[in-house]
Each structure stands twice: as C-alpha cells, then as structure tokens.
Structure 1
Amino acid sequence: MTQHLAPIEGASPVDTALSETVVRIVDLRRRFGQTPAVDGVSLTVRKGEVLGIIGRSGAGKSTLIRCLNGLERPDSGQIFVEGREITGLSERDLQPLRRRIGMIFQHFNLLSAKTVEENVALPLKIEGQSRDERLRRAAELLELVGLADKAKAYPAALSGGQKQRVGIARALAARPAVLLSDEATSALDPETTRSILALLKDINQKLGLTILLITHEMEVVRSIADRVAVIDAGRIVEEGPVWSIFADPRTEVTRSLLAGIRPQLPQAIATRLTGVGREAILRVDIAGEAARRPLLQELATSVPGRFRLVHGGIDTIQGEPVGTLFLGIDTASRGIAETIEFLNARKARVEVLGYVTDNA
C-alpha cells in the first residue's frame, strides 16, 4: 500500500551529565569461518547510562559482549574501557581490567557448594582481599539486593529471582566501572523479571553505575534502558533514545522486535484490507509534542467528513508520550490527502494500510 511518511520529532541528545565515556567500541569485527558475527560495530557507552543492545537470536549480541569482556578476541577494531584499549592485551594484562567489568548471566553461574555470601565474595578472594574485608563487602551488597537474610544459605535453597540477585551482588563486588547483563532475565517469569529490572534501575541510580544490557526482549529495554542499539547480522542498524526508537522504528527488524508491545491493527480488520473500499485504514504514529495535543479533536474540527478511531492509544516511555492510532477514514466524505497533510503537519508519521468495504 502507498505510504505517506513524515518524520517524528527528533530525540534529545544524551544528557551532558553522561558525557564521560566508559566503553568505546570502534569498527569491531569478528568472523567465524566465512560468517561475520560482528561486522563493523561502533558504540559508545557513557558513565551512568543504561544501554540496551537488542537483536534476534544469532544477530551477534553474545559475540559482541564476549569481545567486550575479553573472552573472545576480535579480528579487528578497538575496544576502550575507561580510556584503555583492551583488544591487544595479553591474558595476564586483561585480568585486572576484567575486574572493572561486572557480569551477570542468564543462568546465574553460582557455585552450588558455596554459600550466598561466599559466592558474592568470590571475586574479592581472587583479588586477595582478607576474609573480613570480603565478608563486609558481601554483607553490604546482599543488603543492597534485598538478600541480607540469605547470607548463609546455599544456592539450591533459592528461587530463580534470588539467585539472580546473588549474581548481581557478585558482579558488583569489585566495584566495576560497567555492568554487563547477558540475557539476565530470560530464564525468569514476568513478575520476577520486573523485580530484577527494578533492582538494576535502582542500582544504576544509586551508584551511578553504567549498565550494558544484551537482550532479545524489547520490554526489557523499555523498562530500564536510556538508549537502545538494534543489532542485526552483526551490524548496528538503528540506535537512539528508547522513546524515539519506539515512536519511529526505521528498520524492519526493529519493527518486528517491537510488534509484541506496540499497538497492532486488530486481526479482524487486517485480514479484510484490500486496495479499494469505502473506508481507508490509516496508521498514525505520534510522539513528543504531537502526542500531547488533542489531535483527534483538532482533526475533527479542521478537516470535514467522518472518521473513527479503530484502535490504539498513548503510552509514556522515558517521560515522553508515544502513541499509535489506527483511524478509519470515510473516503466518500473526507479527503484522504487532506487528512494526511493535516497529520503530517503535526509531526505524525502516517501510513495508509489499505481499505475495507465496511466498518462493521
């Protein structure tokens, strides 16, 4: 169907308070045989920022994070952590730097024979800290993640959410500069996922901790991230503030990832769409100032003729209103071109999805 597009209002630049760069990736490449797993990725993560890297399975997310924590050697490109280039370091030189990178995993990776406090304190034992120092730090972190009463318990006695909280506490033990989360909520139920994401956001705000999230779930990005980068076939195909990407996804892969949480045209209408009919079905994407206006009221008074709201609504992401509306426009009584022109003038992105012969 014909598309009529207008750009949604642009996103604000990242807050200048986040100007200090913690991680910088420059033209990173890693191949396995003839297959490029990471194909020219460049990214910057600023102090105190939560960056979500999202993509389908096999998109290159895990390879990217393994390059970042030094478990995978890139073929070319550069990775800087707190200004230090790490891609050429020996395994010995990488060890102290890895302590600046905390890691939480999908399947927790706790040692079953050690207590909760011993698991949390393990990175400090490897550092050579005294037992008293280790246990004092473990107690602080277990208090932070809400598990102070589980210090002497073993992982087998914990729920999945509690195990992940222990994993988060362990990742924070050495006071890292950046926390990497590799699908950390994928094995958890929705309620536990929400609690873990709330904990990560709380830690981000309390400690000013930089977090890099690897995920295939857009809901995770929406809940916690400041900025999102979409990776596909080893390349970053789209990047920006979360609200802006949700409001105006520019690539098919992003639209596909968003399909489960953005309003979609009801199937009963979608299956009846044709190339002609007495009612045009429009998709209208709005954000920012356009979403704050009484858009439908203004449309009704400015362009003569009948229309109806078929489906949709307005959400709030990062404090910005973001909405998708599906409108049915009576082609006999209202000019489609005039309606689109009106909406475009108000910074809406409009797409004619098709036509139906009746609106029952």
Structure 2
Amino acid sequence: MNLHVTAELDGPITTNPVVREDVVRLVDLKRRFGATPALDGVSLTVQKGEILGIIGRSGAGKSTLIRCLNGLERPDSGEVFIEAREISRLGERDLQPLRRRIGMVFQHFNLLSAKTVEENVALPLKIEGRPRAERLARAAELLQLVGLSEKAQAYPASLSGGQKQRVGIARALAARPALLLSDEATSALDPETTRSILALLKDINARLGLTILLITHEMEVIRSIADRVAVIDAGRIVEEGAVWQVFANPKSEITRSLLGAIRPQLPPEIASRLAAGEGAETILRIDVAGQAAHGPLLSDLSAAVPGPFRLVHGGIDHVQRQPVGTLFLSVPGTDAAHLAAVIAFLKDRDARVEVLGHVASPV
C-alpha cells in the first residue's frame, strides 16, 4: 500500500521562547438568546502574528463569537480584550476607531457592485477621511500584494469568486489592521481556489506578521494554514492546542468527527464486518505523531513481536511539518498473548491504540 504524504501550505512550528503579546483575549464570555446559550464561558487568546483557527459545526457559536470580537454583539457577561483594551462595554463612538484595527473577510465577499475594484479596496480609507492620493496609493499597493493590479478599474461583476475574495482581503488590509477576522472566507469557493486563497492568507501572515483568526467548519482549512486550533461546540471551547497535536490525538468526540473527512478511516467493507467478541482477525486503529511516526514502526514491530499482522489501510500526513499518521492493522488468530504484546509494543512507542473489533474471516 502506498502511504500518502501531503505537506502543501503547512507552516513551520513556532519554537520561539519569547513571550508574545496577546492581540485578542476572551475571558469567560457568555451570550444567550432566550434560553439558548450561544456562548457559554468562552476563554481564549490569539497571540500577535499567529493564525488561530476556530472550528465548529453550524450553530456551535462561531458567528456570535466573531460578532463579539468586532463589537457588533455585546456579551451578557465576560470580557473582550483587543490589543489589551476591553471593548464589550464601549459606546459606538469609542468602538469606531477600534474597529479600524480589525479587518473582516466575508464568505460572500460583500463588495459594492457599483464601485471599481480600486474603489472597493480604498473604501475604508475614504470612510476614515484619508486624502484621495493616499487612498489610491494604498489600494495599488494592496492590489499588487493580492495579485490583482491589472483589475484595478474592473467591476466586481467581471471577477471570478477567487478574485472577488482577493479584493475582499485587500480591502480588509486597507487600514493596516492589527487583526484579520476571516469568517468562512473560503466556503463559497471551489477546492483549487480555496487553496490559492489560503496560500495568500499564509503569505500575508508571513510577510506582514498579521494576526489572523479563522472561523470555519472545514478541518482542511485549519490543517492548511493555522498554527493553533480551538474547537467550539454548543458555545464552549471543548479542545484547543497546536494543530498537529490536536490532529494527532483529538480528545473530544466532536473533534474526531470533524477530522473524519480528512483523516484515514476504516474502509466500509471492513467496518461493516466488525463485531464484538472473538473472530479470525482483530482490527486495530493506531494513531501516531511526531517522533513515533518518523521511524520504521511496523518493521520494528515485526522484529520485536514475532507473529502475523497486516496493514489493511492508513497513511501518514504532514501537519505543521510534523508527521501525523493513522494505520489500521489486522492481527490474525485468537492468541490473546500475541495481541497484547502487539498493543504493548505500539503503546511503548507512544502510539494510541484502539481495538475496533473482530472479523469472522480474513479481510
């Protein structure tokens, strides 16, 4: 079997020990709509220069969270700090200059159809009262950054979806924000265009040191560019950590479910035959990451634990330049001691092992 390895768009792991500044800090944020808690005690931070992905299913609280961040929604309790300033109790007049420190990228672009690309990008500066020459110079600079200089005088109707999102990103950067909020920015795009937009965001993060908070329901978006991930469910952060670590060892059921679309799964023809009790073969799921995934795990297992086993499915991916793998092994026979020795060896190599069940005949 070929083990598929993918490293496209993966960013470096941050090992810099220098204490970093929090651009966003949320403290025990709560917001209810009637009897329904949209946010139920959310606390998290986004550090300067990092990309944090917040992922959850529809209705998990993502939209309410992002509206609290830009001041469009006021929490019932808790605190929202942007660049060390608490904003949840500010009046509209005081919120306006703060909102200029936050750029927004939307799922459906939100471009003004009657204005040119150049005018759309320069709009935040026009609202701010900047001189025309300054606005146009900034728009030209940003259109070059996003690769659309030749479209400055075009109108949104003539652009592709990916081009419209590039304009949206340029516009979000116009006022030189400290924080970029991306609200499902790639959900309306095809896979190839999505990859190009994510690569652009990663490049902007690297070039400008811009802090980015991604709201998404797609784990592939998180895998591609985020440094850390926070999983939200029913208004609570249920899991948080470096992306590769969460991918390697998801703690919550919702995280495992969200990862199901991009991590190897037991083929249906085998899964449908699984049963409890004894059988001709035992099926194991093995999750490995980091150093455990670097070495010849199966070769070492074969040498250390004499007896049969077979790789029936799985592969190794790379997340943040760290190998993360899921393998499915079949261990034939009913020798409990042999099975226990296989499991013990794998666990001793820092692998996470789960007995999925047994099949009555060889797979």
Range into which the TM-score falls when normalised by the shorter chain? over 0.9
Q: Map Cα deviations across residues 158-217 of structure 1 (whole Å, 9 max, x no partner).
A: 000000000000000000000000000000000000000000000000000000000000
Please, which of 274, 293, 296 is the counterpart of residue 295 of structure 2? 293
User: CA distance change for structure 1 residues 75 and 99 in 2, over 3 Å: closer, same or farther?
Assistant: same
CA drift of 1:14 comes to: 6.4
Contact 2:222 2:229 in 1 (8 A): yes
CA drift of 1:325 comes to: 0.3
TM-score scaled by length of structure 1: 0.95
Counterpart Cα distance in 2 of 1:79 and 1:152: 39
CA drift of 1:15 comes to: 3.9
Tell me which residue corresponds to 1:157. 158
Please, which of 344, 358, 362 is the counterpart of residue 359 of structure 1? 362
Say whether 1:273 aligns with 2:298: no
User: CA distance change for structure 1 residues 153 and 17 in 2, over 3 Å: closer, same or farther?
Assistant: farther
Tell me which residue corresponds to 1:345. 348
Say whether 1:316 aligns with 2:315: no
Counterpart Cα distance in 2 of 1:175 and 1:344: 49
Contact 2:57 2:217 in 1 (8 A): yes
Counterpart Cα distance in 2 of 1:305 and 1:78: 59
Tell me which residue corresponds to 2:131. 130
| Paired amino acid for 1:326 | F
Counterpart Cα distance in 2 of 1:150 and 1:277: 65
Tell me which residue corresponds to 1:335. 338
| Paired amino acid for 2:267 | P
Contact 1:59 1:232 in 2 (8 A): yes
Counterpart Cα distance in 2 of 1:310 and 1:71: 51
User: CA distance change for structure 1 residues 304 and 357 in 2, over 3 Å: closer, same or farther?
Assistant: same
CA drift of 1:243 comes to: 0.4
Map 1:1-360 onto structure 2 (within 5 A): 15-17=16-18, 19-275=20-276, 276-332=278-334, 335-360=338-363
TM-score scaled by length of structure 2: 0.94
Alignment RMSD (CA, Å)? 1.2
Counterpart Cα distance in 2 of 1:109 and 1:73: 23
Counterpart Cα distance in 2 of 1:262 and 1:158: 34
Q: Map Cα deviations across residues 127-165 of structure 1 (whole Å, 9 max, x no partner).
A: 110000000000000000000000001000100000000
| Paired amino acid for 2:83 | E
CA drift of 1:332 comes to: 3.9
> Which consecutive unaligned segments of at least 5 residues does structure 1 have?
1-11
CA drift of 1:62 comes to: 0.5
CA drift of 1:357 comes to: 1.7
Contact 2:289 2:322 in 1 (8 A): yes
Contact 1:283 1:324 in 2 (8 A): yes
| Paired amino acid for 1:295 | L
User: CA distance change for structure 1 residues 13 and 156 in 2, over 3 Å: closer, same or farther?
Assistant: closer
| Paired amino acid for 1:253 | I
CA drift of 1:22 comes to: 0.6
CA drift of 1:18 comes to: 6.6
Counterpart Cα distance in 2 of 1:327 and 1:40: 41
> Which consecutive unaligned segments of at least 5 residues does structure 2 have?
1-12
Q: Map Cα deviations across residues 24-46 of structure 1 (whole Å, 9 max, x no partner).
A: 01000110001000110001000
Counterpart Cα distance in 2 of 1:155 and 1:13: 38
CA drift of 1:17 comes to: 4.7
Counterpart Cα distance in 1 of 2:232 and 2:185: 18
| Paired amino acid for 2:81 | F
What SS class does the counterpart of residue 162 from structure 2 fall into?
Answer: helix
Counterpart Cα distance in 1 of 2:192 and 2:30: 37
Q: Map Cα deviations across residues 281-334 of structure 1 (whole Å, 9 max, x no partner).
A: 000000000001111001101112100001001111001000000000013466
What SS class does the counterpart of residue 335 from structure 1 fall into?
Answer: helix
What SS class does the counterpart of residue 189 from structure 2 fall into?
Answer: coil
Stretches (4+) displaced over 6 A: none
Counterpart Cα distance in 1 of 2:133 and 2:154: 19
Counterpart Cα distance in 1 of 2:18 and 2:222: 21
What SS class does the counterpart of residue 269 from structure 2 fall into?
Answer: helix
Q: Map Cα deviations across residues 98-146 of structure 1 (whole Å, 9 max, x no partner).
A: 0000000000000001000100000001111000000000000000000
